[in-house]
Amino acid sequence: MQIIAMDAYLSTTLRQPLSFVTPAPSFSQSRLDKGRPVSMTVATTAALGDVPPSVKSATATFVHGSTPRSCAADLRLGAPATPSSPCSAASYGLTAAAPSSLDDEMADAFATPPPTTRIGTAVATSSVRGTLNPLILDSSPSNGRLPSKKAKTKANDAMPLTPPLTPPYEQHPSLLPAAELPTSPSPPPRPITVSGRALQHHRLHPLFASTYTLCEELGSGGFGFVVRAERNVDSLSVAVKFIERAKIPSHAWVKSRSWGDTPGLTQPTGPKLIPMEAFVLRSIRHDGVVRFMDLFEDERYFYLVMEHHGSPWQIPDKHAPAEVDSVSPSPVSVAMSPTISSTWPRIAPGQQQTLTPTSSPTMSASTLPSPSSPTPKLLSPPRPAPMERRSSCDLFECIEAYSRFDEATAKYVFAQIVEIVYALGQMGICHRDIKDENLAIDAKFRVKLIDFGSAVIFDPRQPSPFYQRFHGTQSFAAAEILCGEPYQAPPSEVWSLGVLLSILCTGECPFADAEAAKVGRLSRPKVRVSPEIDHLMRACLEVDVAKRITVSQIRRHPWLSSFFSR
Ligand SMILES: Nc1ncnc2c1ncn2[C@@H]1O[C@H](COP(=O)(O)OP(=O)(O)OP(=O)(O)O)[C@@H](O)[C@H]1O
């Protein structure tokens, strides 16, 4: 068990390079992988260490919320660290190389819950999805396209989650909720969400319960689930991530002295054990990152209260005026359709393009909550049960709604993400799981990064440490990670940016499968992109780490430089 003592580290302005967080490599399958050929043998069963085989076999069937998002398989990389790398002395994953002054704190780390990895959640949610081979993630071919809404509907059917109550019911009587069908004698019991199931008999922290009212579920994943809540005093909308203690891997705990003034924590006085995710989020102040607000704990969960960002993604009503940001106009904007182009945020003349609408209009307006959702401000019970599932506000949903972005929108979104990654890098923080699912986006295409469960902190003035374990997502993983080599976080993050750029501009992953990614064999995109985008994408997806573009260079790339020089 390794607990990281961080306060001294941060207060000494990151003097030492820390290679203490070396999470287990996780070849996760993003929602983007769904329906795309992903065939990849990542490790032998033996390499999975002491994870029981039953757990391993469940990992490939992971279902994330109402949508299969990530098939997480925590795997050890095959290759050992090079002798010269900062983590060469580290055994796989759980070794901390914290500054020696912190050793005392680390030594008396008290026992934490048994470290289960994200695999654990997969076990809990996998049964309805059938069984896949855990080591060969192989899904049916669909030419690298984004998963269709149809596929998502199927996923919803498979999961006992609240079905989306999507208008227009008039055109689709078959979509009427059962309770409204005249032929239905008695309505079936309302399906319950992941959070509803988990919390309906759970006694919430009293201070939390009196401060917030839980509303709809925003998502669920490897560590727990995320629920929207409202602060009772002013109805401020917040996102609360319930992180299951038992699912926090041993390396993702931080021992910290600076949480003494957090009333939601019930640990005795002295240093507190905090999930790395909460620790990192609290130390970041950036417009492109959701703001940390509070932390509570009980015997089962940490409740990470943070800024709620984003709009439930849907195709805007073509005849309704779109929102315009009157306070801070977007540098670029989008014409959703010719009908509303004048009301949607403006772009430079001649740049307007129409976004490609999604294939399934019936699923497009999936704005939840349902009519039954208005949340009473009650302290007891503090939440409606079962909670409704609300459509996600992340970039994955946004892209899925539009298939792909026009160049101006892609540039606006991508530039923001680059800026966030750059700013975090300056602070010595790498997110390590940059992907569309981890970017909340609002109706004005402003993005904020979420989910710092895989983040690492290092000294930005030192050469970045090498890591052996990877907790990110397979389709966004850099070639060196897929090849099982020790990797540095900043260049591997640039690779993820390249994948994201491809998805933004073409709606497709740039590689057919992991084997292609390992050697940098790009697929021919169905949509032609401009030579500048193509150049930037290739520079990010350079297999040779030494030749790969850096985040600073991305900011100066001709395609983006105009954005950053304004
Ligand atoms: N602050 C937020 N504002 C808006 N939506 C959010 C916020 N935090 C999380 N969500 C929604 O909840 C989903 C799950 O959140 P998150 O990725 O943090 O959970 P997770 O359990 O770590 O998932 P995973 O295991 O896939 O990483 C997100 O994809 C997003 O749609």
DSSP string for 508-529: S-S-SSHHHHHHT-PPPPSS--
Q: How far is the CA of 223 from the centre of ligand 1 (A)?
A: 10
Distance from Cα 44 to the centre of ligand 1, integer Å: 30
* Strands of the sheet with 4-5, listed across from one edge: 4-5, 253-256, 272-275
Ligand 1 surroundings by CB, under 6 angstroms: 64, 69-70, 218-219, 221-224, 226, 239, 241, 290, 306-310, 392-394, 437-438, 440, 450-451, 453
The two counts, helices (H) then strands (E), for the chain are 17, 14
Mutate to test the pocket of ligand 1, among 69, 119, 218, 227 (most ligand atoms within 8 A of CB): 218
Dist. CA 130–CA 559, nearest whole Å = 44
Q: Looking at 61-70, 114-123, 488-497, which range is the least confident one?
A: 114-123
Instruction: Tell me the binding residues.
Output: 241
Tell which atom from ligand 1 comes closest to the C-alpha of 290.
Answer: 1
Task: Tell me the best of 126, 226, 309 to mutate to test the pocket of ligand 1, counting ligand atoms within 8 Å of each CB and taking the most.
Answer: 226
**168 backbone dihedrals φ, ψ, rounded to 5°:** -95, 120
How confident is the model at residue 226, as a pLDDT? Answer: 95
137 residue type, one letter: L
- Contact of 425 with 326, CB cutoff 8 Å: no
Average pLDDT of span 348-377: 28
Is the model more confident about 504 or about 153?
Answer: 504
- Ligand 1 mutation target, pool 241, 282, 400, most atoms within 8 A of CB: 241
DSSP 296: E
User: What does the pLDDT average to over 366-392?
Assistant: 42
pLDDT at 127 over 50: no
For 179-194, how does the pLDDT look when each residue is reduced to its tens digit (9 = 90+)? 444 555 666 666 588 8
Token representation of residue 452: 């710092």
Q: What's the mean per-residue pLDDT of the chain?
A: 65
Is residue 517 pLDDT above 90, yes or no? yes
Query: What is the rounded average pLDDT of the residues 105-113?
Result: 29
Alpha helix stretches (DSSP H) within 365-404: 395-402
Average pLDDT, stretch 197-209? Answer: 93
Q: How far is the CA of 239 from the centre of ligand 1 (A)?
A: 9
Taking residues 530-543, report their average pLDDT. 97
Cα(351) to ligand 1 centroid in Å equals 33
The pLDDT tens digits for 46-92 are 222 222 333 222 222 222 333 333 333 332 232 333 333 322 222 22
In the reported structure, the alpha carbon of residue 15 is separated from the centroid of ligand 1 by a whole-number distance in angstroms of 32
The residue whose C-alpha atom lies closest to atom 14 belonging to ligand 1 is: 219
Tell if the pTM clears 0.80, that is, is over it: no
Split at pLDDT 50, 70, 90, the class of 231 is very high
Per-position DSSP letters for 120-188, written without gaps between them: HHHHHH-GGG----SSB------TTPPPPHHHHHHHHHHTTSPPP-PSPTTT-GGGS-GGG-TT-SSPP
Distance 311 CA to ligand 1 centre (A): 13
Range picked from 315-324, 395-404, 450-459 for highest mean pLDDT: 450-459
Closest Cα to atom 2, ligand 1: which residue?
308
- Can you tell me which atom of ligand 1 is nearest the CA of 437? 29
- B/e letters for 115-127, b = 16+ CB within 10 Å, e = fewer, are bbbbbbbbbbbbe
Detail the residues annotated as belonging to a binding site for ATP.
241
User: From ligand 1's centre to the CA of 203, what distance in Å?
Assistant: 23
Band (pLDDT 50/70/90 cuts) for residue 448 is very high
Shortest-distance atom of ligand 1 to CA 310: 4
Q: Per the structure block, which two tokens stand in for 376?
A: 């009473």
pLDDT given for residue 342 in this prediction:
20
| Contact assessment for residue 322 and residue 340, using Cβ atoms and an 8 Å cutoff | yes
Q: Which pLDDT does position 167 carry in this prediction?
A: 30
Residue nearest to atom 17 of ligand 1 (CA): 451
CA distances from 386 to 185, 215, 275 (A): 22, 10, 27
Task: Name the residue with higher pLDDT: 46 or 548.
Answer: 548
Ligand 1, atom 16, lies closest to the CA of: 451
pLDDT tens-digit profile of 399-446?
Answer: 888 888 899 999 999 999 999 999 999 999 999 999 999 999 998 999
CA R_g for the chain: 23
Q: Is the pLDDT of residue 141 over 80?
A: no
Identity (one letter) of the amino acid at 488? Q
* Res. 557: pLDDT tops 90: yes
Q: Phi, psi (5° rounding) for residue 71?
A: -95, 95
Average pLDDT of the residues in 197-219: 93
Cite the DSSP H helix spans in 434-550.
479-482, 489-506, 514-519, 531-540
Q: Average pLDDT for residues 318-347, to the nearest whole number?
A: 28
pLDDT at 155 > cutoff 60: no
Confidence class for position 555, pLDDT limits 50, 70, 90: very high
Q: Choose the residue to mutate in 227, 286, 392, 451 for probing ligand 1, maximizing ligand atoms within 8 Å of C-beta.
A: 451
**Which amino acid residue places its CA nearest to atom 13 of ligand 1?**
219
What does 24-45 look like in DSSP terms, one character per residue?
PPB-BPPGGGTTS----B---G
Which stretch of 162-166, 185-189, 507-511 has the lowest confidence by average pLDDT? 162-166
Split at pLDDT 50, 70, 90, the class of 33 is: very low
Instruction: Please tell me the distance from the alpha carbon of residue 398 to that of residue 366, in angstroms, as a whole number.
Output: 12
Rounded distance from Cα 450 to ligand 1 centre (Å): 6
Greater pLDDT, 168 or 297: 297
Between 10 and 365, where is the model more confident? Answer: 10
**pLDDT band of 470, cuts 50, 70, 90:** confident
